[in-house]
């Protein structure tokens, strides 16, 4: 095993561990990593810029111009400082000859400077404004593609957690989203580069005005300044992040006691056991055992000063450049050293800040992050979705014929579950067209999983499912689902009106308003949801989404006042209509009937939609589905199958992810196995 380059040292009672920083080196310790990342980033940057130029050229130009302005304003300021200093010098000389007036050029220079300060504030505003507008343009441009991508990813979007995590979404161009970060990151880096280059040019021009000897002196001082800037650590571990811990028993015990005392979640238990008093004494005892500790956990997490010699050097060079410059006075050939010293102080301040910014934004980690933002935005757009590539369209068999299925050696395990918890283990079953199948079994035996596989909502890990003799996986999924009505066990009601929910069950409806209303009423009637509709109406939205509309603390905003929150709630929060679980299930059933009655359904699957219903309502619901199962293959999953068992063409009994029995009711009863046990338990017949 390769030993990690970790360094550990003592800090009071704590141990501190850190990895020596490798600012421009990647994890492979090679400087090429940064170059590779920069190269890859550049390909995305060109693409991004090209996209922006296509979408909103004028906004982009204003944004770029304001960024360039803000980047160069520090250099302009430096130049103005230099001019003013020179003019003050001249004034001082004239004063010496008793001519006390403020020269017009000094007034002009100062006025120009003030104008530039005002212009900078306005430019900053303009930039922020255009940044928001640009993000708005990008959002409007990219979001339809993201929506398409998300919808075409189909079931992968549900099951592939890692893909879902990296999927661009509606927040991609909001604060913190990859698009936002990419835009801001590029602007920040461009601004830092422009600042550094323009400031360096100004310094060079000023140095050129000096005598050769002074140029060398000042240049040497500046070189020293940059060396300290590059090598001096900003904290005790050379600017690296660090971990810390302590093996001090008293400290650790005190820390635990502290948690018990101050975390309200323990208060009830403490009070119940009457431990308040004794805990206080324990705390006192432990605290005096520990004595005085120079740093607590939070302070140590923030403060770890560098070694004293670095602190002295850094302070001398960075904080007191004027003092450093004064040291070279005796060797300078310039007669006006005071202005030179003041200028040097300004230069080091400005260049120092810019250089540190540059180091930060072109650091290996920072570039990798920017690259990750670019990849998060573009990579999913570049990946062609597999389901899009499937072009084989499913066409249903002749009229009045349902789908037939051959499930062959199908194994399925949910993502993230352990090898031992396979949901389906090498299942094989044939479901003939137009058959009525009852799927039964104990909780967790795999019934829902099997339905989802047949419905194409899951893909087997191994084995295959044939529909009409062809692999289900080869068909374009939507073409199969168009002919499927599937009432799932846990189905969502969309945050739309109930009417829209019902209409969404059949995407391509082309009837008149009155006809549609008739169809809707019919489905609601059969599903038994009339009472709910009478109570809340078709336009009710059962679960309206809440609108997030408040400022975030920590980015310049204060705490939001109660009145403002109340006002927000009053204006944006729609109240959800209260609904019982039975009403919910009836409505979902109505939505399925809407689809069943108005589409060319060849596969009807109903997965135990009845847990909130009483026995009679449940039987009626299944009867209603069964009555409309003509010309369809029908699969019901229910724990209360007593009334349906004798009608079923085939009963499939599952246990622990396997099919243990399959056949007609009488056959399985004669077997006296798992199914017979379940059936008798339902009928209240004690087992022999």
Q: Does 397 sit near ligand ATP (CB under 6 A)?
A: no
Stretch that binds ligand ATP, among 43-51, 102-110, 441-449, 529-537 (CB under 6 A): 441-449
For the bound state, the minimum distance from the C-beta of residue 618 to ligand ATP, rounded and expressed in Å, comes to 15
If the CB atoms of residues 341 and 457 are measured against ligand ATP, the closer one turns out to be: 457
Stretch that binds ligand ATP, among 88-96, 256-264, 369-377, 413-421 (CB under 6 A): 413-421
Q: Does 423 sit near ligand ATP (CB under 6 A)?
A: yes
Sequence-distant (6+) residues with CB within 8 A of 83 are 109
For the bound state, the minimum distance from the C-beta of residue 421 to ligand ATP, rounded and expressed in Å, comes to 6
Residue closest to 74 by CA, chosen among 316, 261, 352: 352
Instruction: Tell me the C-alpha distance between 495 and 474, whole Å.
Output: 33
For the bound state, the minimum distance from the C-beta of residue 409 to ligand ATP, rounded and expressed in Å, comes to 18
Would you say 650 and 435 are in contact if contact means Cβ atoms under 8 Å apart?
yes
For the bound state, the minimum distance from the C-beta of residue 261 to ligand ATP, rounded and expressed in Å, comes to 40
Q: Does 448 sit near ligand ATP (CB under 6 A)?
A: yes
For the bound state, the minimum distance from the C-beta of residue 416 to ligand ATP, rounded and expressed in Å, comes to 7
If the CB atoms of residues 348 and 445 are measured against ligand ATP, the closer one turns out to be: 445
If the CB atoms of residues 121 and 158 are measured against ligand ATP, the closer one turns out to be: 158
If the CB atoms of residues 380 and 609 are measured against ligand ATP, the closer one turns out to be: 609
Residue 377 tokens, joined = 């935005």
If the CB atoms of residues 188 and 674 are measured against ligand ATP, the closer one turns out to be: 674
For the bound state, the minimum distance from the C-beta of residue 394 to ligand ATP, rounded and expressed in Å, comes to 24
For the bound state, the minimum distance from the C-beta of residue 472 to ligand ATP, rounded and expressed in Å, comes to 18
- The one among 397, 444, 495, 663 contacting ligand ATP by CB under 6 A: 444
For the bound state, the minimum distance from the C-beta of residue 444 to ligand ATP, rounded and expressed in Å, comes to 4
For the bound state, the minimum distance from the C-beta of residue 398 to ligand ATP, rounded and expressed in Å, comes to 32
Sequence-distant (6+) residues with CB within 8 A of 213 are 332, 333
For the bound state, the minimum distance from the C-beta of residue 449 to ligand ATP, rounded and expressed in Å, comes to 3
Residue closest to 135 by CA, chosen among 42, 48, 66: 48
What's the half-sphere exposure (Cβ side, CA atoms, 13 Å) at 168? 30
Q: Does 447 sit near ligand ATP (CB under 6 A)?
A: yes
Token pair 């990895």 in the structure block, residue: 19
What are 225-231's contacts with CB under 8 Å, separation 24+? 225/317, 225/318, 225/321, 225/348, 225/351, 225/352, 226/355, 228/313, 228/314, 228/317, 228/318, 229/318, 229/352, 229/355, 229/356, 230/359
If the CB atoms of residues 245 and 414 are measured against ligand ATP, the closer one turns out to be: 414
**Within 462-521, which residues bind ligand ATP (CB under 6 A)?**
489
Q: Does 446 sit near ligand ATP (CB under 6 A)?
A: yes
Write the CA distances from 619 to 479, 608, 625, integer angstroms.
32, 12, 10
Dihedral (C-alpha) 613, 617, 622, 623: value to the nearest 10 degrees?
A: 180
Residue 256 tokens, joined = 């635990």
For the bound state, the minimum distance from the C-beta of residue 613 to ligand ATP, rounded and expressed in Å, comes to 16
Stretch that binds ligand ATP, among 31-39, 436-444, 496-504, 521-529 (CB under 6 A): 436-444
Stretch that binds ligand ATP, among 129-137, 147-155, 447-455, 473-481 (CB under 6 A): 447-455
| Bridging pattern class, strands 405-412 and 462-467 | antiparallel
Stretch that binds ligand ATP, among 96-104, 438-446, 494-502, 675-683 (CB under 6 A): 438-446
- The one among 162, 395, 443, 683 contacting ligand ATP by CB under 6 A: 443
If the CB atoms of residues 434 and 448 are measured against ligand ATP, the closer one turns out to be: 448
If the CB atoms of residues 179 and 456 are measured against ligand ATP, the closer one turns out to be: 456
Instruction: Tell me the C-alpha distance between 653 and 633, whole Å.
Output: 18
Tally of residues, the chain: 688
For the bound state, the minimum distance from the C-beta of residue 684 to ligand ATP, rounded and expressed in Å, comes to 20
If the CB atoms of residues 320 and 414 are measured against ligand ATP, the closer one turns out to be: 414
Would you say 468 and 403 are in contact if contact means Cβ atoms under 8 Å apart?
yes
Stretch that binds ligand ATP, among 231-239, 371-379, 445-453, 590-598 (CB under 6 A): 445-453
If the CB atoms of residues 340 and 449 are measured against ligand ATP, the closer one turns out to be: 449
Q: Does 611 sit near ligand ATP (CB under 6 A)?
A: no
Q: Which residues of 488-520 are buried (b: 16+ CB within 10 A; e: fewer)?
A: bbebeeeeebbbebbbebbeeeeeeeeebeebb
- The one among 449, 501, 592, 601 contacting ligand ATP by CB under 6 A: 449
**What three-state secondary structure class fits 635?**
strand
How many residues form the binding site for ligand ATP (CB under 6 A)? Answer: 13
Contact track, ligand ATP, 637-666, x by CB under 6 A: ------------------------------
Rounded to 10°, the helix 32-55/104-152 angle is 90
Sequence-distant (6+) residues with CB within 8 A of 71 are 190, 191, 192, 193, 194, 195, 198
- The one among 185, 321, 396, 441 contacting ligand ATP by CB under 6 A: 441
CA 630-633-636 angle, 5° bins: 100
The number of beta carbons lying within 10 Å of the beta carbon of residue 2 is: 4
- The one among 445, 585, 629, 633 contacting ligand ATP by CB under 6 A: 445
If the CB atoms of residues 448 and 501 are measured against ligand ATP, the closer one turns out to be: 448
Would you say 218 and 344 are in contact if contact means Cβ atoms under 8 Å apart?
yes
If the CB atoms of residues 172 and 449 are measured against ligand ATP, the closer one turns out to be: 449
Dihedral (C-alpha) 393, 398, 400, 406: value to the nearest 10 degrees?
A: -60
Query: Contact positions toward ligand ATP, by CB under 6 A?
Result: 414, 417, 421, 423, 441, 443-449, 489
């Amino acid at each position: 095993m390769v030993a990690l380059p970790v360094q550990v040292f003592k800090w009071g009672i704590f141990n501190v561990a850190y990895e020596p920083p490798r600012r421009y080196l990647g994890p492979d310790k090679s400087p090429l990593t940064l170059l590779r990342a920069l190269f890859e980033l550049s390909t995305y940057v060109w693409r991004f810029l090209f996209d922006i130029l296509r979408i909103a050229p004028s906004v982009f130009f204003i944004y770029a111009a304001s960024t360039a302005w803000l980047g160069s304003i520090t250099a302009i300021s430096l130049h103005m400082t230099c001019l003013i200093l020179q003019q003050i010098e001249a004034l001082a000389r004239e004063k010496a000859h008793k001519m006390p007036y403020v020269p017009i050029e000094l007034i002009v220079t100062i006025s120009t400077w003030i104008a530039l300060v005002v212009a900078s504030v306005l430019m900053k505003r303009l930039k922020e404004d255009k940044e928001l507008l640009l993000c708005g343009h990008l959002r409007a441009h990219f979001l339809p593609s993201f929506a398409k991508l998300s919808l075409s990813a189909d079931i992968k979007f549900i099951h592939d957690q890692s893909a879902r995590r990296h999927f661009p979404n509606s927040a991609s161009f909001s604060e913190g989203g990859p698009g936002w970060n990419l835009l801001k990151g590029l602007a920040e880096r461009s601004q830092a580069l422009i600042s550094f280059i323009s400031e360096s040019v100004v310094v060079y021009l000023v140095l050129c005005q000096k005598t050769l000897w002074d140029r060398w002196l000042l240049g040497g001082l500046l070189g020293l300044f940059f060396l300290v800037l590059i090598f001096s650590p900003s904290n005790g571990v050379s600017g690296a992040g660090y971990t810390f811990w302590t093996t001090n028993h008293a400290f650790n015990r005190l820390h635990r006691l502290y948690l018990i005392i101050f975390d309200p979640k323990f208060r009830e238990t403490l009070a119940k056991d009457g431990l308040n008093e004794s805990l206080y004494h324990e705390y006192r005892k432990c605290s005096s055992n520990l004595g005085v500790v120079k740093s607590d956990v939070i302070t140590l997490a923030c403060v770890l000063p560098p070694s004293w010699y670095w602190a002295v050097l850094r302070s001398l060079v960075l904080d007191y450049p004027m003092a450093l410059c004064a040291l070279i006075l005796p060797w300078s050939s310039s007669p006006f050293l005071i202005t030179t010293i003041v200028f040097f102080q300004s230069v080091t301040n400005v260049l120092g800040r810019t250089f540190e910014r540059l180091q930060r934004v072109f650091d290996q980690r920072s570039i990798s992050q920017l690259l990750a933002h670019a990849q998060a935005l573009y990579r999913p757009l570049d990946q062609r979705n597999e389901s899009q590539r499937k072009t084989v369209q499913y066409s249903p068999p002749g009229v009045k014929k349902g789908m037939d299925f051959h499930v062959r050696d199908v194994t399925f395990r949910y993502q993230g579950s352990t090898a031992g918890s396979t949901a389906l283990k090498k299942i094989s079953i044939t479901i003939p067209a137009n058959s009525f199948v009852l799927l039964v079994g104990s909780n967790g035996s795999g019934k829902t999983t099997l339905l989802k596989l047949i419905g194409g909502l899951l893909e087997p890990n191994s084995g295959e499912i044939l529909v009409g003799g062809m692999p289900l996986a080869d068909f374009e999924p939507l073409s199969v689902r168009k002919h499927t009505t599937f009432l799932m066990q846990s189905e969502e009601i969309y945050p739309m009106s109930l009417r829209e929910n019902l209409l969404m069950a059949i995407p391509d409806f082309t009837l008149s308003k009155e006809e549609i209303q008739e169809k809707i009423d019919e489905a609601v009637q059969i599903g038994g949801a009339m009472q709910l509709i009478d109570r809340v109406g078709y336009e009710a939205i059962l679960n309206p989404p809440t609108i997030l509309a408040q400022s975030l603390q920590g980015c310049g905003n204060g705490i939001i006042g109660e009145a403002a929150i109340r006002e927000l709630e009053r204006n944006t929060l729609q109240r959800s209509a209260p609904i019982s679980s039975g009403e919910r299930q009836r409505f979902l059933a109505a939505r399925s009937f809407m689809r069943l009655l108005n589409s060319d359904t060849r596969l009807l699957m109903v997965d135990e939609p009845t847990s909130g219903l009483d026995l009679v309502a449940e039987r009626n619901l299944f009867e209603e589905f069964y009555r409309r199962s003509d010309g369809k293959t029908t699969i019901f999953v229910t724990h209360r199958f007593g009334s349906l068992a004798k009608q079923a063409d085939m009963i499939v009994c599952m246990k622990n992810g396997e099919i243990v029995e399959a056949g007609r009711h009488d056959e399985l009863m004669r077997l006296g196995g798992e199914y017979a046990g379940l059936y008798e338990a339902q009928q209240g017949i004690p087992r022999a």
